[in-house]
Amino acid sequence: MANREELGIIRGARAGDAECQLALGKLYLFGGASLPQSQPTALHWLHRAALQGRDEAWRLIGSHVGFEHAQHSRAAVLPWYELAWIAGAQPAGLVLAQLVLSAPQDSDARLRGKALQALEDAARAGLPDALWLLAQQRQAPAPALDQGIPAPAERGAAFDLAEAHHAALDHAWSSQSRQCFLDGALPLARQLARAAPPDAEAARGAGWLVTPQQVLLLSRCAQALADVGGAAQPDAAEQQRYRELAAYGGDRGAQLALGLWFARMDSAGARTDGGIAAVNFKRAIRWLTQAGEQGLADAWFALSRIYIKPEFSQRSVMEAQACLERAAGMGHSAAQLECGIHAWRNRRGDEYNDVRAAYWLQKAAAQGSAEAHAALERIAPQASGPSWTDTLQAMLTRELLGSQPLLAARIELAGLFRLTRAEALLLDIKTADQGHCLVIDIRAGYGRSKRRLALVRTAQQRQALDRIARQFDKVDSSLAGPEGNYRQRLYRLKTWLPGSADGDHMVPA
């Protein structure tokens, strides 16, 4: 609901006061204390203020109100965008061009000329929508892109057109259909392919030079041809030609696609019907390694699948595991899950494999892997129900905390990670903390216990654990340290907090 001041502005605007109309337009344009932002309403009042000679009104219209709102009152607001563009507002030039060029039959030659000039100015300023619209307006072939970017003396309208054309293709790739992208990109890709040597592998040695932008164009064309498939029936040879040229040009996506094509499999390692007639693992490894070195986790994962294939003559489980761990380290969810399961299955060979398993499974679970969540619950189930520390927490006063800070820290740790009383009293916190989990192993001081893991699941647990660990930094937590052995620690706990003798299922030694 509008406040008293805003109600006065609304009444003045309705009465025809230009200043009130300008002020009300600003309130709706930027939002007021109780009035919501509304560009259509702002345009209505700013238009009325501009009609009464308020220059600030049309400047605000040109700078802040976009085409989607202006198009509904095209004839009325067109002069304001023209004035704002002449005054130097680049966004106004773009909207002016959109309004004029969307209905060229309603505009005279003078206005269309101004609209095109405004569009070129907005494109030079780097506005993406302006670049896209400029490319649509200029359907003539782009400059000879196979020769690279023109020399400075040749730059001008041709250079602007090339920039606009590539910007239009970027826009089509991200927001339009693949067929729409191909309609604009294939002529350029074919021009580049004709200029390249017939043998893609000899392209570099033959002095074939392309820019990164052109390499990306070839890679996207290959991917788009593969995506449309079906009824379009793309030319497989043409698709492969673009993929090879892009791969030799250094595009990692094309290198990955080419490696998978030679291996006749998808990125998950499953066999595909498409690809080369006879599998060529040697060439597949070459391209997948190059893609992996450029940071593609999918490439390392695919390599791990190749190295464990029985039909591969250089089959190596160790090499497969190394590739798998590189993919996992780059954030590949399936690789993280597999690394976690592999470490858990081999925990008898190395006791700390369960720690590694928990690490990788937590990473995979964070990416939404239900299988990783289930595995974590088997490895380190989350305790439920009340803790023996629940009643003690209310008994801790400032005086008690000050007299026994280490014991108080152990009680807090037990509450956070559901430790038993023996685990809380005997745990070596500095050794137990592995970052992502606690290794709870008190077998040396309490023979009836079993080694287990407790996951650090929340930021609150991590912060509390760091704070507690700092309290033990300069303290020897072993049984020979100042805290004493288990009996001494248990006696201190019972005498310090008498209620601690109740509620624990573990009988003190």
Q: What is the pTM of this model?
A: 0.64
Question: CA 234, CA 236: separation in Å to the nearest integer?
Answer: 6
Q: How far is CA 265 from CA 107, 258, 284, in A?
A: 56, 11, 10
**Structure confidence at residue 460 (pLDDT):** 92
- 164: tokens are 């606009």
Mean of per-residue pLDDT scores for the chain: 83
Ordered per-residue pLDDT tens for the chain, 509 residues:
457 787 888 889 899 999 999 998 888 888 766 778 888 898 999 999 999 998 999 999 988 898 888 888 888 888 898 888 888 887 888 888 888 887 766 667 778 888 888 888 777 776 666 766 766 665 434 333 333 333 333 334 444 555 666 777 787 888 767 888 888 888 888 888 887 887 766 655 555 667 788 889 899 999 988 888 643 455 788 888 999 999 988 899 999 999 999 999 998 888 888 767 778 999 999 999 999 999 999 999 999 999 999 999 999 999 999 999 999 999 999 999 999 999 999 988 888 999 999 999 999 999 999 999 999 999 999 887 788 888 787 777 787 778 888 888 888 899 999 999 999 999 999 899 999 999 999 998 888 889 999 999 999 999 999 999 998 888 887 777 788 888 988 888 888 876 655 544 433 33
Q: What are phi and psi of 106, to 5 degrees?
A: -95, 10
Convert 338-373 to b/e letters by CB count within 10 Å (16 or more is b): bbbbbbbeeeeeeeebbbbbbbbbbbbbeeebeebe
Dihedral of the alpha carbons of 183, 187, 190, 192, in degrees to the nearest 10:
-120
Query: Which among 254, 249, 314, 255 is positioned nearest to 281, based on CA atoms?
Result: 314
Place of tokens 């892009």: 246
CA 471 to centroid of chain Cα atoms: 38
pLDDT the model gives residue 237: 85
Q: What is the pLDDT of residue 6?
A: 78
Q: Is 10:24 a contact under the CB 8 Å cutoff?
A: yes
Structure tokens at 30: 């930027």
Element (H, E) at 163: helix 157-175
Contact at 8 Å (CB) between 199 and 207? no
Q: Which residues pair with 440 in a beta bridge?
A: 452
d(CA 413, CA 484) in angstroms, rounded, equals 19
Structure tokens at 191: 């021009």
How far is Cα of residue 211 from the mean position of the Cα atoms in its chain? 26
How far does the chain reach from its first CA to its final CA, in angstroms? 71
- The pLDDT assigned to 154 comes to 37
Buried b (16+ CB within 10 A) or exposed e, 432-446: bbeebbbbbbbeebb
DSSP 508: P
DSSP code of 362? H
- Integer-rounded Cα Rg, in Å, for the chain is 35
Q: Which residues lie below 8 Å from residue 373, measured CB to CB, with a gap of 6+?
A: 365
Please answer whether residues 99 and 70 qualify as being in contact, where contact means their C-beta atoms are separated by less than 8 angstroms: yes
Integer Cα distance of 509 and 445 in angstroms: 10
Which residue reads 């023109």 in tokens?
A: 150
Q: How far apart are alpha carbons 454 and 416 in whole angstroms?
A: 10
Burial of 207 (0-12, 13-18, 19+ CB in 10 A): exposed
Q: Which of 428, 429, 410, 430 is nearest to 420 (CA)?
A: 410
> Which pLDDT score is estimated for 231?
39
Contact 173, 181 (CB under 8 A): yes
Q: Give the 3-state secondary structure of residue 212.
A: helix
Bridge partner residues of 108 (DSSP): none
Question: What is residue 196's DSSP assignment?
Answer: S
Alpha-carbon gap, residue 118 to 125, rounded angstroms: 11
Beta-carbon contacts of 143 under 8 Å, excluding residues fewer than 6 positions away, are 150, 158, 159, 161, 162
Phi, psi angles (nearest 5°) of residue 115 = -65, -45
pLDDT number for residue 474? 82
